[in-house]
Each structure stands twice: as structure tokens, then as C-alpha cells.
A and B are shown apart, each in its own frame.
Chain A
Amino acid sequence: MSDKVVTKNRSESAGSRAWAIGLGAWAVPGLGHLILGRWQRALLSGGAVWGMFLLGLRLGGHLFRVTDQGFAALLQLLPMSANLGSGLLYLFCFVTNIGFAEQAQRVTYEYGNTFLLVAGLLNYLCMLDAFDIAAGRKQ
């Protein structure tokens, strides 16, 4: 009986650890794998997401947030949720109001937008990967 209780407590603590690592992986790209001791994965995935996000800003892309009312707000919700995948990078830009101005006159504007959107989406993938490793579903 006590063995079952110990096993249950262990799996609960492993589950909460996996959630905490998933949250960390979302907040700072690469941090999840870093906590798990996967240095190479952390360096590659974190470097790619950070690089993509910073390049996106450098290329003149803009981040999305819900500013309009009604149906137009719904149209901004989807790209905003992609941007939000960058975690604290997005929140830092949101607080400091960096990267929200549209610079459509720049040639690389669309590239910048794509880089910013995909950086967030890729970080969601990295977050799920870190969560799976921490939960023992993946090696």
C-alpha cells in the first residue's frame, strides 16, 4: 500500500516538474532543454528561435497584439498567439513597445513578419519537446 503511495507521489512530482520545465521552455527559448541537461539541443533550438526573433525585428517585421474591436480583433488573435510563443521575448517587447510599429515601406517587412511568427511557433515545438522529455515520453 505504501509503495503505491510513494509511486503516486513520485509521478505527481515528475508531472509538476515537467510542467515547470515546459513553462520555462516557453518563457525563455532553450531554457527547457538546458534544465534537462541537453546542452546541444538547447543551443541549437534556443539559438534558432532567438536568432529568428531578433532577425525578424531587424528586418522590420512587426509583432501583433489585439488593438481593434469586433471582427478585426479576431483576425489579430491568431498571429498574436503565434508571436506569444516567443515567451518573455514577446512580453518584453509588449511592455517596452518595441516591434509593434508597422514598417511596410521596408523591402524585408514581410520576411520580418514571417521570421517573428515562425520563431514563436518553433518555440511552441521546442516547449512540447522539453515537456515530453521531462515527462519521460521521449529520450
Chain B
Amino acid sequence: MRHVLWMMLFASLTAVVFGVVAKGSDRQRLVYGLKVFAEFLVVAFILGWILYFLPFR
């Protein structure tokens, strides 16, 4: 569980910077930051499940 929290913290901090440096109005940049955050989480969960089924032992 703690790994997920660290990953979410990483995604949120990165998304903040991506949102800050993006172009557009404040609202557009906020939406972009939230989108980046969501994309981080979705990709991490998909990769996590893919790796779960791979026999790395």
C-alpha cells in the first residue's frame, strides 16, 4: 500500500510542475495537470498488473 502512496505522491508533484509550465489559461493548465496525474496512475496500474503476471523469479 505504501508503494502506491509514494507513486501517487510522485505523480502529483510531477503533474504540478507539468501544469505550471503548460501554456493556456489557468483553467486549461489545471485540467492539463489533472490529466497528467490521472495518466500517471492509469499507466502505473496497467504496468503493475502486466508485471504481476510475468514469471520473474
Which A residues are within 8 Å of any B CB, using their own CB? 41, 44-45, 47-49, 51-52, 55, 59, 108, 111, 114-115, 118, 122, 125-126, 128-129, 138
Contacts and interface: CB of A to CB of B under 8 A. Distances in A.
Contacts of A118: 10, 14
Given A59-B6, A108-B6, A111-B6, A125 B13 contact: no
Contacts of A115: 10
Contacts of B6: 59, 108, 111
B26 to A, nearest CB: 9
Interface residues of B, number: 13
B50 interface: no
Contacts of A138: 23
A45 B19 CA distance: 9
23 contacts: A41-B20, A44-B17, A44-B19, A45-B16, A45-B20, A45-B21, A48-B13, A48-B14, A48-B16, A48-B20, A51-B13, A52-B10, A55-B9, A59-B6, A111-B3, A111-B6, A114-B10, A122-B14, A122-B17, A125-B21, A126-B17, A128-B21, A129-B21
Interface in B1-43: 3, 6, 9-10, 13-14, 16-21, 23
Contacts of B23: 138
A49 B14 CA distance: 9
Contacts of A49: 17
A114 B11 CA distance: 12
Contacts of A55: 9
Contacts of B21: 45, 125-126, 128-129
Best-buried of B10, B13, B16 by chain A (most CB within 10 Å) = B13
Contacts of A45: 16-17, 20-21
Nearest to B21: A129
